[in-house]
Amino acid sequence: MVTQVTIELPQRSRGYHLITDLIEKALPPLPEIAMVNLFIKHTSAALTINENADPSVRNDLRTFVDELIPDGYPKFTHTIEGTDDMSAHIKSSFFGPSLTIPVTNHQLALGTWQGIYLCEFRNHSVRRTVVITVYS
């Protein structure tokens, strides 16, 4: 059986934002064992799983990735929407648009310190749409 819901995330500033609670609230009742796929429908944002306890992880991610893939890189040609345009697309591909998470005992089988992040790469973001598909 396959169930699917679509949610809109609140508009967020540039950075890495924990959205685990928003995803869990949007989930339909989960079977004992299943798989959940999350897919963000955007090319300048991404999803990832990482530590959910210490906020410095989010800051360090942003610092490192912004240095690795800087805004305004002089060789970028796709800049019509600003200096953060192409760098956001590359970062989105770097992290990816989807996650697959197993379900165990009717809940997401995330580890103790794992959380789901929205990776927002634009300076002026929009509301982001995530499609949640449950396969049981």
Dihedral of CA 119/87/11/58: which sign?
positive
pLDDT of residue 53: 94
Q: CA torsion, points 117, 121, 122, 126, in degrees to nearest 10?
A: -30
Q: Hunting for tokens 């634009």 — which residue is that?
A: 122
Q: What is the pLDDT of residue 125?
A: 87
β-pairing, 128-135 vs 2-9, is antiparallel
Domain boundaries along the sequence of the chain: 2-135
Helix (H) or strand (E) holding 65: helix 56-68
- Per residue in 8-67, pLDDT (tens digit) is 999 999 999 999 999 999 999 999 999 999 999 999 999 999 999 999 999 999 999 999
The CATH superfamily assigned to 2-135 is YjbQ-like (2.60.120.460)
pLDDT, tens digit, for every residue of 87-126? 999 999 999 999 999 999 999 999 999 999 999 999 998 9
**pLDDT of 103:** 98
Q: How many angstroms separate the CA atoms of 125 and 127, rounded?
A: 7
